[in-house]
Chains A and B, each alone.
Chain A
């Protein structure tokens, strides 16, 4: 199975900050990498698919990059509604594994 490792596991930041979350795959997954945001008690929300494609309706402050084994999710200017947990997921090979999550908290 492909292991997905996110860093950091948690992060404190302020409104207006630029934030980067990293996801590393245990083997090359080309660009089959998706990013989700999840708020407590809610289903995840797809932000980025295919490593860098912004899902329709997602604010442009979210961006993704990378290919192969190393990927990043960047939020250019944090807004209050962005404080949540973020997950990466590979869809290159089954099982379609998720990272362990990054909890983004208010500083």
Chain B
């Protein structure tokens, strides 16, 4: 069965960096677009970024552009989100999700990132 497992969240100071990982299993990872979506505590969903199956097409939300970098390693069935210059407003649960234009069917359980001094 399809599984997406995020890791790498935690407490970081403003201006710091964190790298999130998403380990995929149960499907041919290299066939699918993957995305990161986040949810601040008590707030709604915010789309962050997607990467195409080959990694050749990447888009970001304006709120993270220039600070976050999405990448993937198809040989390791893994998706990544490098987050630099973190701000308090980046505090959220970060989900990886499989899908693209026809919605996100599969989601991970989420990993909490807290940016605080």
Are A101 and B44 closer than 8 Å at their CB atoms?
A: yes
Size category of the B interface is 20 to 34
- The tally of CB-CB contacts under 8 A between chains A and B is 58
Knowing A1-B62, A49-B102, A91-B100, say if A44 contacts B107 (CB, 8 Å): yes
Stretch at the interface among B23-31, B45-53, B79-87: B45-53
Q: Which of A32, A34, A87, A96 contacts B44 (CB 8 A)?
A: A87
Knowing A49-B102, A95-B59, say if A43 contacts B109 (CB, 8 Å): yes
Q: How far is the CA of A50 from the CA of B104 in the complex (A)?
A: 12
Knowing A46-B105, A95-B59, A95-B61, say if A87 contacts B45 (CB, 8 Å): yes
Are A43 and B95 closer than 8 Å at their CB atoms?
A: yes
Number of interface residues of A (CB under 8 A): 24
List residues of chain A with CB within 8 A of the CB of B50: 94, 96
List residues of chain A with CB within 8 A of the CB of B102: 34, 49-50, 53, 91
Are B101 and A32 closer than 8 Å at their CB atoms?
A: yes
Knowing A91-B100, A95-B61, say if A55 contacts B105 (CB, 8 Å): yes
A14 is an interface residue with CB less than 8 A from chain B: no
List residues of chain A with CB within 8 A of the CB of B107: 43-44
List residues of chain A with CB within 8 A of the CB of B103: 34, 36, 46, 48-50, 55, 89, 91
List residues of chain A with CB within 8 A of the CB of B62: 1, 95
A residues 66-107 touching B (CB-CB < 8 Å): 87, 89, 91, 94-101
Partner-A contacts on B (CB < 8 A): 35, 44-47, 50, 59-62, 95, 97, 99-105, 107-110
